[in-house]
Amino acid sequence: METILQQVQGFMYPNEIELQWSILIVLYPFITGLVAGAFILASLEKVFRVEAVKPTYRLALLTALAFLLVAPLPLQLHLGHPERSLEMYLTPHTSSAMAMFGFVYLWYLMVVLVLEIWLDYREEIVLRARSSRGALRLLYRIMSLGVDNISPQSLKIDEKLARIITIIGVPSAFLLHGYVGFIFGSVKANPWWSTPLMPIVFLFSAMVSGIALVMLMYMVVSSWRRTGIDMRCLDTIARYLFYAFIIDFSLELLDLVHRIYEADESFKSLDFMVHTKLFTSQIVIQIVLGTLLPLGLLFLTQVARLSERARKTVYGTAGVLTMVGIFAMRWNVVIGGQLFSKSFLGYTTYKLDFATREGLLPAIVLMILPFVILALLVRLLPPWEPNDAGTKTTACP
Amino acid sequence: MSHFFKDTEHLLRMAGLFAAGVVGFVVLRAIFVPAGFGELGHFRTGALADNQSRPLVFAGREACEECHDEVVALRKGGAHAGVGCEACHGALAAHAGDPATVQARRPDPKATCLICHLPNAAKPTSFPQVDPSEHGDGQACTSCHRPHNPKVQ
Amino acid sequence: MPTTRRELLQKGSALLLLTGAAAAALEEVLAGTPEKAEGYRLQEHWWAMTIDIGACIGCGNCVRACKTENDVPREPYYFRTWVERYRVPEGDLEHPLVDSPNGGYDGFPELSQPDKGAKSFFVPKLCNHCAHSPCVQVCPVGATFESPDGVVLVDTTYCLGCRYCVQACPYGCRFIDPRSHTVNKCTLCYHRITRGLTTACCETCPTGARRLGDLKSPTDPIHEFLRTHTVHVLKPQMATGSKVYYAALDGSVR
């Protein structure tokens, strides 16, 4: 604390000097954003009947699940008393967006994601329950709820129900991540956060990051399995990434222009902060490298005729830059919102430790963990047929 | 018809699981929601008593006045009449509770006065401010001023 | 020593009665409501505070008294109440120079020289015990709340330490106690005011700049004060229903 004290510029209310929300709270919206984005990409196939993205349907769902399971962990690590977190279910304060999190999360996990995955995979689960042995067989039997029936009629009912769930799932995904934006956007005390645009900006940047993630994963996994990449699929995903990015960029630009134009009491202080303390993370990383560059690259693929190899390189680069940019966006919102004083007269610094409870190390571990879980899930419920290019039913026409 | 139930058995079982979850939640709530929650608002009523049951560290001037009549008389009408006893003498609930065993300390005859009376541009100009280098010849303030009624006659 | 059966019956029933009464009283005390235990009725009070900027001398007594009374961590930098010093350059309300060295705990070092044409003054700050408190609104579990007598309090056995309320307070009055990992803030010395005493800060304020007020008490001097002074609250545009009223508050105060 003493070191932070020495680095305070100007005046801050004494209790403001130490930041309240750390990198873990940056991680949380990033992770739930990936969940929402991956799910919406998956639902493109089911609900909007975009056939082209079918090869990524199951992979997107499993990715969403893996990340959703990890999502509460940064929050638990951050809480002063994680053992009391059940209180949010027992006595939720209905005026608090954070209280509603527990129920939205539970709803989304159980009713949307788990149900949808279960319905989609049920045939395979039963088949594997029949053909495997030992502990694995028990696991599959539990997953099938002890029901062995995979008649065409039952599968048809499953498919109908799955479609309904996906339709419910889309607004649920919006809610899952939109409320995170609302948690910030509804804090009138903080002008960096307080805007009605916040939930929408969060949501669209979530879609961008989620689509980019699935796109990258599809490319990586296909290259590992040495199966070909369905270029029609990849091109379609990239196109949706581009559209989502344009909307996201427009929204953030709108927020920026609005702030500069209205120039309210907080503007000078925030402007100074962006140009000094947030220069690297916001202007360089989020805007230039993380938004303008990938947008430009994707635009190129839409207007120019590039070879397959060139497109893959561009998509890969754009995807990585996008992920970095969206992470930077979360960082700039969460950390940026705490670097300036609510008196608009001063600034503090964020000291990121390494191996403490809220340090860089747990953050890195929490980012790797979903991939570990995903690897397990992919083992249990392969998103593709063995030796198949990677679709559930037929290959992409 | 029986086919229908056979084909939806897995769904019924899943629905059953969900129902069990809801029941479990209701039971959990009944067990774990703390007593007295929600009576006066969205909080545990006992928290009011928790906040109320801290020990006193400052006694409050009325407690001092119960015993120290002579000081009360002295302060009457003086410039320090409105200043609480513990503003200079420090926290004295322990002394008020057990005057025989817990002694009160005499404040420093100069440093204590300067806490308030040292000149500062931000102090209201009507407030008496004294530069110790220009007033008092380096002596303790109590050489001339009685702290309980400071005006020098 | 009771000699006759009659006396035995009399004394015995008296004893029983007293025991019963004592038991009932004990039950009330243990029931944990200040109202029942101390003759303090929640509905009869609506607490507020007035701060007269024209009277504050920045002595820091309030800051020290609060830390002493409420066991607030001394290090490194946590405050339930603190004092800010403003220096407003001539005609420039938008760029005051503000400082609060250790929250005013050690008073304020004297200015090397007063600025020409500038005005300066002290502003004590604390929890405003808002009637429409944004911090209470965002607490996910009900660990912070407005008591029926108008004090915003914390249930430290229930607080998760999520820090949302700290973010939501526009006045910066909350902090996380590093010892308990729960939120901590001014309680308006609830343990004192429910016993008819005043807050530690008001008790030790030598000039009466800080005064506790009970808006529901018809004889309380706060009514006269609010009538005869020009009063402001901090950040009125936030519509928090702040109950700390500042007299002679300058427009430069944040």
pLDDT digits (tens, 9 = 90+) for A341-382: 999 999 999 999 999 999 999 999 999 999 999 999 999 999
A192 in helix, strand or coil? coil
Using the Cβ of C236 and the Cβ atoms of chain B, whether some distance falls under 8 Å is answered with: no
Is residue B27 a part of any domain in this protein?
yes
DSSP state of A14: G
Within 8 A by CB and 6+ apart from B110, the residues are: B132, B140, B141, B142
Nearest CA in chain C to A74: C162
Residue B20 exposed, middle or buried by CB count within 10 Å (0-12, 13-18, 19+)? exposed
| Domain shared by B67 and B105, yes or no | yes
Q: Contact B11/A161, CB-based, under 8 Å? A: yes
Taking only the tens place, the pLDDT of each residue in B26-46 is: 999 999 999 899 999 999 999
Three-state secondary-structure class, residue A173:
helix
- Least reliable range by pLDDT among A165-169, A208-212, A314-318: A165-169
Better pLDDT: C194 or A51: C194
Contact C250, C86 (CB under 8 A): yes
The widest CA-to-CA distance across chain C, in whole angstroms, is: 93
**Are the CB atoms for A302 and A239 separated by under 8 Å?**
yes
CB A67 within 8 A of CB A34: yes
- Single-letter amino acid code for the residue at C207: T
Which 146-175 residues of chain C touch chain B by CB within 8 A? 146-148, 153-158
C159 close to A (CB below 8 A): yes
Assess if residue B97 is contained within a domain.
Answer: yes
Residue B150 lies inside a defined structural domain of this protein: no
Asked if residue B137 and residue B67 are part of one domain, the reply reads yes
pLDDT value for C32: 38
Give the neighbours of chain A: at least 3 Cβ pairs within 8 Å. Answer: B, C
3-state class (DSSP) for residue A344:
coil
Q: What is the mean pLDDT of residues C205-222?
A: 96
Give the N- to C-terminal CA distance of chain B in Å, as an integer. Answer: 110
How many Cβ pairs closer than 8 A exist between chain B and C?
141
CA atoms A83, A86, A88, A92: torsion sign: negative
pLDDT for the residue numbered A257? 96
Q: Return d(Cα C58, Cα C103) in angstroms, integer.
A: 11
Taking an 8 Å cut-off on Cβ atoms, the answer to whether A98 and C140 are in contact is yes
Structural domain contains residue B4: no
**Choice among A46-50, A347-351, C156-160, C229-233 with the minimum mean pLDDT:** A46-50
Q: Is B1 contained in some domain?
A: no
Taking CA atoms, C60 is separated from A302, A333, C78, C88, C101, in Å, by 66, 36, 15, 21, 11
Helix or strand or coil: residue B77?
coil
Please check the confidence at residue A51 and state whether its pLDDT lies above 90: no
Model pLDDT, residue A228? 86
B42 chain-A contacts, CB cut-off 8 A: 91, 93
Residue with tokens 């991540």: A177
Domain spans of chain A, in order of start: 20-334+352-380
> What is the C-alpha to C-alpha distance for residues A207 and B17, in angstroms, rounded to an integer?
32
Q: What is the pLDDT of residue B104?
A: 87
B133 is a domain residue: yes
Contacts of residue A266, defined as CB under 8 A and 6 or more positions apart, other chains included, come to A191, A192, A344
- Beta carbons within 10 angstroms of residue A397's beta carbon: 7
Domain with B102, as residue range(s), is 61-143
Q: A110 — contact with chain B (CB < 8 Å)? A: yes
Q: What is the mean pLDDT of chain B?
A: 91
If you count them, how many residues does chain A have?
A: 397
- Minimal C-alpha gap between A28 and chain C (Å): 13
Written as one letter, the residue type at B24 is G
Domain tally for chain B? 2
Q: Are residues B74 and B127 in the same domain?
A: yes
The verdict on B114 and B91 lying in the same domain is yes
Structure tokens at A247: 């909307």
Per-residue CA distances from A315 to A320, A321, B149 (Å): 9, 10, 84
Same domain, B116 and B137: yes
Q: A76-132, pLDDT tens digit by residue?
A: 999 999 999 999 999 999 999 999 988 999 999 998 899 999 999 999 999 999 999
Q: Which of C97, C162, C166 sits opposite A98 (nearest CB)?
A: C162
The ipTM assigned to this model is 0.91
Mark which residues 271-310 of A lie under 8 Å from C by CB.
none
**Which chains touch B (3+ CB pairs under 8 A)?**
A, C
Rounded to whole angstroms, the Cα distance separating A43 from C196 reads 64
CB pairs below 8 Å between A and B: how many? 44
Mean pLDDT computed over A128-154? 91
Residue B14 lies in a domain: yes
Is the CB of A188 less than 8 angstroms away from the CB of C96?
no
d(CA A117, CA A39): 11
CB contact under 8 A, C111 and B52: no
Compare CB distances from A153 to B7, B17, B42 and report the shortest one's residue: B7
The helix/strand/coil state of C232 is strand
- Can you give the length of chain B in residues? 153
Nearest CA in chain B to A110: B18
